[in-house]
Structure 1
Amino acid sequence: MTDDTAGPETRRPDAQRPAGRDESPEEQADRRWAELLQEVRVAQTGVQILFGFLLTVVFQPRFTDLSDTDTNIYLATVVLGAVTTGALIAPVSFHRLVTGRQLKPQMVEWASRLTVVGLVFLLCTMASALLLILRVALHNAVALWIVAGLVVWFVLCWFVLPAWARRDGTGSRER
């Protein structure tokens, strides 16, 4: 067992500790799990609202007026919404099925990966839903360009900026 997993009275002196928080792997896993749950709650709320609206579209009178292309976009959007919902709810199921087996650090890693997968599928769901809505509203090819711009914006906000901050933060700690 390393000094990091020992109790507070047996941990390494400050001079030997790596920079960062003074927490055991179990404490770190508990903190990371709580943070992940908060993040997933935000994403799940948006997905549930979007998915709920998607499920009602098929029952609207104008649904039968959609072109075959728009119907196919709708079907793809609903499937993507279902996949997104599954990926973002998966951490809860994962936690429930492995609780009490001393696997929290591994569980947090898997739940984090599932959340990132869920965010990727959320991006696809949002793009698909926006494409359908803008095609119906605008009746022209401008819809595709608007959606492309929005996808770039989502990728920038959700993935590029965090990756840049992560890289920049790593570099500043090494100085």
Structure 2
Amino acid sequence: MDDAPSHGRDETEEERADRKWTDLLQELRVAQTGVQILFGFLLTVVFQQRFTGLSGTDRGIYTVTVVLGAATTGALIAPVSLHRLLTGRQLKPQAVVWASRLTLLGLALLLCTMACSLLLVLRVALHNTTALWLVGVMVGWFVVCWGVIPLWARHMSRDQDGCER
């Protein structure tokens, strides 16, 4: 009997990497589409007539938001480049690890981009400090949806030996 921990599937390391890569690509398709649409809208804001009327603070928030949007886009598209440059070099298991890390970084940057976008829009719309509170609530919501729930589910899936399924 093999002493290696069971992963719940009868697959080789390469088959597991292929499956994980396919799963990751499906996740990235959802995230990339949303980020690209958000980033596209952010790029158009500067060309609107109302932009010239923004305060210096709001222009600063906009600048940070656009830079974060660009960084988010880069991190979430990076796995494609990684895959393309490593294809055929028998490095898929390592590529999956790095692509997963880049995706997590992209999600963290997306959280920051969303927070800054909300802050800018709500500051312009509300003209008061309520905007900051609403952004705080939404960031908390994103953290719960994107972090707490998945980590809780991961914790609950551990078997008696402490191994992940």
Q: TM-score, normalised by structure 1?
A: 0.89
- Map of 1:132 onto structure 2: 120
Query: Separation in 1 of the partners of 2:107 and 2:118?
Result: 16
Q: 1:71–1:163: structure 2 CA closer, same or farther, 3 Å change rule?
A: same
Greater helix fraction, Structure 1 or Structure 2: 1
Q: Which runs of 4+ in 1 moved over 4 A?
A: 171-175
Q: In the alignment, which residue of structure 2 is the partner of 1:98?
A: 86
**Structure 2 gap segments, 5+ residues each:** none
Unaligned 5+ segments in structure 1 are 1-11
What's 2:39 paired with?
Answer: 51
For 2:6 and 2:99, how far apart are their aligned partners in 1? 26
> Among residues 45, 48, 52, which one is paired with 1:60 in the alignment?
48
Higher RCO, Cα 8 Å, sep 6+: 2
Cα-to-partner distance string for 1:93-148 (whole Å, 9 max, x where unaligned): 00000110000000000000000000000000000000000000000000000000
Deviations 1:125-172 (A, max 9, x none): 000000000000000000000000000000000011111111111146
Cα 1:60–1:106 shift into 2, 3 Å = same
Letter of the 2:104 partner, please give it: V
RMSD: 1.8
Please tell me whether residue 117 in structure 1 is matched to residue 109 in structure 2. no
Distance 1:44 1:94 in 2: 15
Give, in angstroms, the shift of residue 174 of structure 1: 4.8
Aligned to 1:82: 70
Aligned partner of 1:170 in structure 2 is: 158
- 1:34 corresponds to 2:22: yes
Residue 61 of structure 1 aligns to which amino acid in structure 2? Q
Q: Which amino acid aligns with 1:118?
A: G
1:154 corresponds to 2:142: yes
Alignment CA distance shift 1:168-1:57 (3 Å): same
Aligned residues: 163
Q: Give how far 1:18 is off.
A: 2.4
Find the counterpart in structure 1 of residue 6 from structure 2.
18
Q: SS of the residue aligned with 1:101?
A: coil
- Structure 2 vs 1, CA of residues 47 and 19 (structure 1 numbering), >3 Å: closer, same or farther? closer
Distance 1:68 1:90, change over 3 A: same
SS in 1 for 2:157: helix
TM-score of the pair, normalised by structure 2: 0.94
